[in-house]
Structures are given as structure tokens and as C-alpha cells.
């Protein structure tokens, strides 16, 4: 046997195993494609369910808004129906929107048919009577022939009494048709209720049951209603056609008694995979024949061994093992270069995977903090309006009950509780970065030096406190009061983690941050800053606790010993001031929190004069009060009249401008910052001073998305933060009217 024959035999033997493996891989690929098609079938069902969940959530939000609409809170049936009709035109996915009285009778209807209905026997109505949220029930209309999802929402008064039930009928047929178009008619969509009634049926020839029919005893219904997690089911119809069905496992839709299924013929599902398998096997056969013609000349034991190393590396990479490497020695020539390139590629991919995972974590943290900030800011805004009324009226009660010791004490307790609520909302607004700040251009090191005794006082003798204040630090625009509160929070936190004593260091120095210097959310904010660092030698934090340290209401202290708002307030204040927060902590190694405040771009031209003492006294001027909240407006009007002022009120900016255009004296405009109707307080002030030059302006705000800036043409405007006491209101009014120091 000559050498060429021997080599040919060796090549054939060497190729036999890889050819078998490749063939097996093709078979595996076919199986994977079939599994992918099945997964796509399940994903389609779950996507439809998720989309329906979003539609339900959107309807719940619509209900929530409608429940608070003034046009709905009326006993005028025609007006109510007209309003719902306008709403339905904006939401064509509903066949109807109506309100039901607590006795089960239809009150108003978006269709405006003046029909009479008694809905007491409907399941969704009974459930809505005792529910606090939306109630769902799929229904097939025997008369209309349309399947809908009834979405009911109980509208309750502030005292919890049921006023009415909002009902929206979501069109399931149109919803299914839209999804069927997205599925390119390759899949069929079926919707069934818990009784087995077909709500939506496919239009294909393979389905025989009409809409409204019952399939309660069928294999398909048993599969859909089964409580287990079986995802797929093959069913054969009477004509021998086999369908593969997937059912959505969404808890919300199943709890509502709605089963969403997507089906496809088995032949169509596997046809693509079979065709690709045959093509791959044919390509493999042709390639093998061509390869035999060339490789048997070039194949050697050495080349085969090196190729084996490359194949092993490639397989590991294909399985996702980016730590795999081809070890030395590498051969010379192209194979060695390929091994080096493969190693370098794996190294690069591993670094990219690490970087992507890190970015995902940072993005998730940033989005979570921002979302929580939006939520807390909105809650604090509503509370501040309520607390203004509670605090003011409790002062009235305390004055009038001065002769009754017990009732006077109760009124004082109400005021104290309202002030504590104000502290809570102030912390929430600080985290949400919506608190009204009063920044000043200050030397932070000098300010902290003035606060030294205040910061030392709560520590106790068992904690050593050191101040390291660098001279000639840059000026920064910071609210001094909020700075003091933030530092005091950090000092108290440090004290609590050093119960047996330790060392606390407060440091102030200039610092420049680069792209690699990240805040607690992983964001780079390069620039020049004044750094304030608070370092303790306490117990420290784990990495998991550190990632949540700045979340509102998160605390590791015992119940009743901490609100969890300290660090969140610090975070919000620094970010609202345009700064950066960093923290380092390890268990047993203590913690350091660094606050970075932006360097003032230019030095101030002059130093602000010290504030004069404001003396509150009664007045006789005319004040225009603009406030959209009825209770707050009534309270302010009463207080101003008590103080001797003449009061004119308006609920929005347009109404206020009409009053300003009329003749008569108006000495001061007292306006809320954020109001409905498209005109906020600063814009109202700008137009008002245009109509009446020299008009004094006093703003009030429960929160502001941005710092309140004095508009052009408005001189010496001030802001009074909600909630406020009577003396605060009186003093600020006199200061604004007299033009005294702010």
C-alpha cells in the first residue's frame, strides 16, 4: 500500500468522526429549531397575554383618572353619558364605557342609548362591590355576538363609601384580530373563558367550533385549564390534522377566567427545520467529497492536532465559555496566528461581557432611583397641600380652645403631628430632588467650621471627632440649611454604627473628577467640585446593603429607630444641587460618604447682606390669592382676613388675570407655583406685573420640579414653602409688602 493510499485512509478515518459529529450537530440544530419554533409559539401566547395585561393596566389607569374627573361626578345622566362618549372616541378598543349605581342600575352610558339595565346578577358587579381595585370578567354577548373583557372599577369617596362602579368593555375580538395580523397568519389565536365558551375563534379551516360555542369537554380546554405548567399540547382533529397549541400562563388573565392560546399546524412548524436539515446534510456531503480531494495531500498528524486545539477552543466559545484559551506552545504560520487571534478575541469578548453586565447593573440602579424619586415627589406634593390645611386649622383650634386645657392640648398635638408630617415630606422631596432650595454662594469649609459644635454635640464622649478643613476651597452655590441637615444626618448615622466608640472624620477639600469617577448610580460627572467627606470606623456595610443605602425607607435599624430617609435626603439634596455622591464601605472596615458640590464658575460680585429680622403685624392691603386646591385656598383666605387684609381669590392663572384687568387696588399677588390649566405661578407673575407694574409677588409651593426663578419684570419675589404656620405667612407677607430683607 503506497503512501498516498495510506494518507487517504488516514484522512478518511480522520474525517469520519468529525463528519458524524457534524451530522449529529445538524440533527441537533433541527431539534433546536423545532424547540425554537415551539418557544416562539409559547412566546406569542405570552406576548398576547402581556399585551392584554398592559391594556388592563392602562384601563385601570383610565378608570383611576375618570373616577376623579369632575364631569363624571354628577347626577346629570345626559352630561355623564356625553362625557363617557367623548372618552370612548379616544379609546376605540372599548365597545362601551358606563357607570353603574351601587344598586346595580345603569346610570350613564357612552353609547347614549338611554337603555335600562339591572346588573346585580353579574359576577363582576358583585365582586366590584367589595373590591378596592379593578375586577375582570370575560363575557360573550349573545345578542351582539361580540366577546369583551369587562373591566370594572369601584369609585369610592374619601370615607370609603361606594359611589359608583366604572365599567369598560374591552373588545377581545378586535384585540385578537390585531395580534393575528402581527403573527402573519401563520398562527391561530383562540380565547376561551373558564366555562369553556369560545370567545374568539380563528378563521382558518382547521377550526370548527364557532364563537359562543362550548368546548368544555374537549382535550384543548382541559389542556388550557390545567393548573400545571405544561406549555405545549399536540391535538389531532377529526380529519387527521395535528395542531400544536401553546397556552399563556399569565396569572392575571387566568385568575380572570380567560385562557389565551396560540396554535400552529405541526407540519408547518417542522417543515422549515426539516428542509434546513436536508440542505445541511447535502452541503455536508458535497463538502466532504471536495475536502477529501484536497485534504488527503495536506493532512498530517501535526496539522490535525493543531486543528483539534482550535476546534476545542471554538466549541468552548460556542458554549459561552469566554475564559477558554489555547495554551502554548503555538505553531508558526497561519495556525499559530489564528490561535493567537482566537485567544485575543476571547479576551476581548470576556471584557465586553463584564463591561455590559456592569453597565446593566448601573442602569438598573439609576432607573430604580429615578422611578422612586418620581413616586415620592408626587406623594409629598399631595401631602403638603393637606398638611397646610391641617396645620393652619389646628392653630385656629388651639387659639379658640385656649380656655380648655385638654382640648387645647389635643389641637397642639394635631399641629405637632402635622409638623412631623412636614418633616417627612421634606425628606421625600429631598430624595426626589424637588424641594425648594435657597442656594447661596458660600465657602463650605467656613460654613462647616461654624457648625463644628452643632456636629460634635450628638456624638458623645466615646467618639473622637476630627475636622480636616483645607484652606482656600472654591466657592460653591449651596443651600446652607440643607447642607447642615445633610451633614447632621451623616454624623448621626456614623454615631449609630459606633455604639462602643470610634473615630469620625469630616474633611473638606477641592477635588476634580474624571470620567472614571462614578457616583453611587454609576454615572460619570467630570468637573471641579468641593468635596465633603464623612468617614467613620464603624461596622461598615455589605455590598448588598450599600447598593440600597440611598433608597427611601430602607434601613437596617430596628423598627421604630429609623425612618430610612436620612441618606435618601442627602442623596436628593446633593443631586438637586448639581453634585455627586460616592460611598465606600466594607464590613468591619467602616464607611466613607463623599459629597461633591460643583465649583462656582465665577466669583460673586458682592456679598449678600444679612437678613433683617422680620416683624409680623396685621395689614390692611388687598391681596389676590391664586390657589387651585379648594381647601388650601379657603384656609389662606380665612387667615388673611383674620390678619386684616382684604382678600380676592382665584383658582387658576386665567381667572386671576381677569381680576387684575378689572379696576380696583391689588397690592400683592399670592400664588401657587404649580397649577393646572397651562399657566404656572411664575408665568402668572410675569403677566400680572405687566398689567400692574410694581405689584408685589409672593409664591407658595408644596414642591417644584425646578428651582423657582424670578421672571423678568418681577422685583423681589419670595417663596413660602408649604406647609406653613400662621406666623410664617404673616411675616412673609409683611416682608414682601415692605420690601425687607429676605
| Cis-peptide into 329, omega within 30 deg | yes
CA atoms of 431 and 371, how far apart (whole Å): 11
Q: Is the pLDDT of residue 15 over 80?
A: no
CA atoms of 311 and 14, how far apart (whole Å): 14
Confirm if 191 and 200 have CB atoms less than 8 A apart: yes
Question: What pLDDT, on the 0 to 100 scale, is given for residue 371?
Answer: 60
Confirm if 513 and 474 have CB atoms less than 8 A apart: no
Whole-number Cα distances in Å, 249 to 41, 200, 229, 232, 255 = 13, 18, 8, 11, 10
Contacts of 190 (CB under 8 A, 6+ apart): 198, 200, 201, 202, 207, 220, 245, 260, 261, 262, 263
Tell me the per-residue pLDDT of 104-140, one tens digit each, with 9 for 90 and over. Answer: 999 999 888 888 888 888 888 888 888 888 999 998 8
| Cis-peptide into 631, omega within 30 deg | no
Confirm if 686 and 671 have CB atoms less than 8 A apart: no
- 697-726 burial string, b = 16+ CB within 10 Å, else e? bbbbbbbbeeebebbeebeebbbbbbbbbb
Map grid coordinates 476546534 to a residue: 311
- pTM for this model (two decimals): 0.39
Contacts of 696 (CB under 8 A, 6+ apart): 667, 668, 669, 716, 736, 737, 739
Average pLDDT rounded to a whole number, residues 143-154: 87
CA atoms of 381 and 705, how far apart (whole Å): 10
Category of 677 on φ-ψ map: left (φ > 0), alpha (ψ -120 to 50) or beta: left
Q: Which residues pair with 260 in a beta bridge?
A: 191
Question: What pLDDT, on the 0 to 100 scale, is given for residue 416?
Answer: 75
Picking from 75, 79, 77, 111, the residue whose alpha carbon sits closest to that of residue 96 is 111
Tell me the per-residue pLDDT of 674-683, one tens digit each, with 9 for 90 and over. Answer: 887 778 888 9
Contacts of 422 (CB under 8 A, 6+ apart): 384, 387, 391, 723
CA atoms of 73 and 164, how far apart (whole Å): 10
CA atoms of 183 and 158, how far apart (whole Å): 46
Band of pLDDT at residue 501, cut at 50, 70 and 90: confident
Q: Is the pLDDT of residue 496 over 70?
A: yes
E strand segments, 194-241: 198-200, 232-236
Q: Which range has the worst mean pLDDT, 341-350, 360-369, 526-535, 600-609?
A: 600-609
Q: Is the pLDDT of residue 647 over 90?
A: yes
Whole-number Cα distances in Å, 233 to 38, 44, 261 = 10, 15, 11
Band of pLDDT at residue 19, cut at 50, 70 and 90: confident
Q: Is the pLDDT of residue 515 over 80?
A: yes
Whole-number Cα distances in Å, 718 to 226, 387, 403 = 66, 21, 37
248 φ, ψ to 5°? -75, 140
Whole-number Cα distances in Å, 345 to 3, 324, 338, 341, 356 = 39, 11, 10, 6, 16
Q: Is the pLDDT of residue 188 over 70?
A: yes
Contacts of 176 (CB under 8 A, 6+ apart): 48, 189, 191, 200
Average pLDDT rounded to a whole number, residues 564-591: 80
Tell me the per-residue pLDDT of 369-410, one tens digit each, with 9 for 90 and over. Answer: 566 555 555 566 666 777 777 877 777 777 777 777 777 778
Band of pLDDT at residue 611, cut at 50, 70 and 90: very low
Cell numbers for 216: 368544555
Q: Is the pLDDT of residue 285 over 60?
A: yes
Q: Which residue has the higher pLDDT, 292 or 317?
A: 317
Tell me the per-residue pLDDT of 709-736, one tens digit each, with 9 for 90 and over. Answer: 566 656 667 888 878 888 888 888 998 8
Amino acid at each position: 500500500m503506497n503512501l498516498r493510499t495510506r494518507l487517504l485512509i488516514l484522512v478518511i478515518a480522520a474525517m469520519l468522526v468529525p463528519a458524524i459529529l457534524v451530522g449529529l450537530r445538524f440533527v441537533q440544530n433541527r431539534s433546536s429549531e423545532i424547540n425554537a419554533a415551539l418557544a416562539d409559539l409559547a412566546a406569542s401566547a405570552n406576548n398576547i397575554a402581556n399585551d392584554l395585561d398592559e391594556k388592563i393596566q392602562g384601563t385601570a389607569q383610565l378608570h383611576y383618572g375618570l373616577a376623579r374627573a369632575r364631569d363624571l361626578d354628577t347626577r346629570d345622566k345626559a352630561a355623564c353619558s356625553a362625557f363617557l362618549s367623548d372618552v370612548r372616541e379616544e379609546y376605540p378598543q372599548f365597545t362601551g364605557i358606563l357607570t353603574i349605581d351601587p344598586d346595580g342600575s345603569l346610570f350613564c352610558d357612552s353609547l347614549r342609548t338611554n337603555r335600562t339595565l339591572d346588573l346585580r346578577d353579574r359576577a363582576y358587579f358583585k365582586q366590584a362591590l367589595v373590591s378596592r381595585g379593578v375586577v375582570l370578567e370575560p363575557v360573550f354577548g349573545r345578542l351582539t355576538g361580540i366577546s369583551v373583557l369587562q373591566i370594572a372599577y369601584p369609585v369610592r369617596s374619601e370615607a370609603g363609601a361606594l359611589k359608583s362602579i366604572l365599567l369598560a368593555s374591552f373588545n377581545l375580538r378586535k384585540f385578537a384580530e390585531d395580534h393575528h395580523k402581527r403573527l402573519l397568519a401563520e398562527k391561530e389565536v383562540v380565547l376561551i373563558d373558564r366555562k369553556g365558551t369560545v370567545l374568539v375563534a380563528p378563521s382558518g379551516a382547521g377550526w370548527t367550533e364557532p364563537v359562543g360555542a362550548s368546548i368544555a369537554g374537549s382535550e384543548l380546554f382541559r389542556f388550557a385549564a390545567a393548573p400545571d405548567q405544561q406549555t405545549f399540547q399536540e391535538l389531532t382533529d377529526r380529519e387527521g390534522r395535528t395542531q400544536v397549541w401553546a397556552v399563556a400562563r399569565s396569572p392575571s388573565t387566568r385568575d380572570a377566567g380567560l385562557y389565551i392560546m396560540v396554535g400552529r399546524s405541526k407540519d408547518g412548524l417542522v417543515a422549515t427545520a426539516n428542509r434546513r436539515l436536508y440542505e445541511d446534510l447535502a452541503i455536508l456531503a458535497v463538502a466532504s467529497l471536495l475536502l477529501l480531494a484536497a485534504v488527503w495531500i495536506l493532512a498530517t498528524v501535526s496539522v490535525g492536532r493543531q486543528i483539534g486545539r482550535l476546534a476545542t477552543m471554538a466549541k468552548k466559545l460556542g458554549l459561552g465559555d469566554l475564559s477558554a484559551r489555547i495554551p502554548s506552545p503555538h505553531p508558526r504560520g497561519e495556525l499559530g496566528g489564528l490561535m493567537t487571534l482566537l485567544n485575543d478575541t476571547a479576551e476581548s469578548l470576556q471584557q465586553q461581557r463584564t463591561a455590559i453586565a456592569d453597565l446593566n447593573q448601573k442602569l438598573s440602579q439609576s432607573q430604580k432611583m429615578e422611578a422612586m424619586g418620581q413616586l415620592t415627589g408626587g406623594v409629598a406634593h399631595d401631602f403638603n397641600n393637606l398638611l397646610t390645611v391641617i396645620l393652619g386649622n389646628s392653630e385656629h383650634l388651639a387659639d379658640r380652645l385656649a380656655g380648655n386645657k385638654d382640648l387645647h392640648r389635643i389641637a397642639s398635638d394635631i399641629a405637632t403631628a402635622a409638623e412631623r408630617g412636614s418633616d417627612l415630606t421634606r425628606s421625600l422631596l429631598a430624595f426626589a430632588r424637588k424641594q425648594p432650595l435657597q442656594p447661596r454662594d458660600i465657602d463650605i469649609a467656613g460654613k462647616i467650621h461654624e457648625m463644628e459644635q452643632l456636629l460634635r454635640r450628638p456624638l458623645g464622649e466615646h467618639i473622637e471627632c476630627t475636622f480636616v478643613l483645607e484652606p482656600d476651597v472654591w466657592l460653591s452655590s449651596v443651600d446652607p440649611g440643607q447642607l447642615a441637615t445633610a451633614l447632621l444626618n451623616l454624623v448621626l448615622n456614623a454615631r449609630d454604627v459606633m455604639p462602643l466608640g470610634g473615630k469620625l472624620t469630616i474633611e473638606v477639600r477641592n477635588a476634580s473628577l474624571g470620567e472614571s469617577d462614578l457616583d453611587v448610580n454609576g454615572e460619570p460627572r467630570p468637573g471641579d467640585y468641593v468635596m465633603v467627606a464623612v468617614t467613620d470606623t464603624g461596622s461598615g456595610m455589605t455590598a448588598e446593603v450599600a447598593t440600597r443605602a440611598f433608597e427611601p425607607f430602607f434601613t437596617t435599624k430596628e423598627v421604630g429607630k429609623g425612618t430610612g430617609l436620612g441618606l435618601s435626603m442627602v442623596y436628593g439634596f446633593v443631586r438637586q444641587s448639581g453634585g455627586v455622591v460616592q460611598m465606600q464601605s466594607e464590613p468591619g472596615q467602616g464607611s466613607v460618604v463623599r459629597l461633591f458640590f460643583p465649583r462656582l464658575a465665577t466669583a460673586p460680585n458682592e456679598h449678600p447682606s444679612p437678613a433683617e429680622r422680620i416683624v409680623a403685624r396685621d395689614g390692611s392691603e388687598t391681596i389676590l390669592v391664586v390657589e387651585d386646591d379648594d381647601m388650601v385656598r379657603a384656609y389662606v383666605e380665612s387667615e388673611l382676613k383674620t390678619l386684616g387684609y382684604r382678600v380676592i381669590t382665584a383658582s387658576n392663572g386665567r381667572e386671576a388675570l381677569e381680576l387684575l384687568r378689572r379696576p380696583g387696588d391689588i397690592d400683592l399677588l399670592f400664588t401657587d407655583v404649580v397649577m393646572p390649566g397651562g399657566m404656572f405661578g411664575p408665568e402668572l407673575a410675569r403677566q400680572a406685573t405687566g398689567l400692574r407694574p410694581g405689584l408685589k409677588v409672593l409664591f407658595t409651593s408644596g414642591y417644584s420640579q425646578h428651582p423657582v426663578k424670578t421672571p423678568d419684570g418681577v422685583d423681589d419675589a419670595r417663596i413660602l414653602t408649604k406647609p406653613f404656620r400662621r406666623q410664617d405667612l404673616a411675616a412673609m407677607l409683611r416682608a414682601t409688602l415692605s420690601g425687607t430683607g429676605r
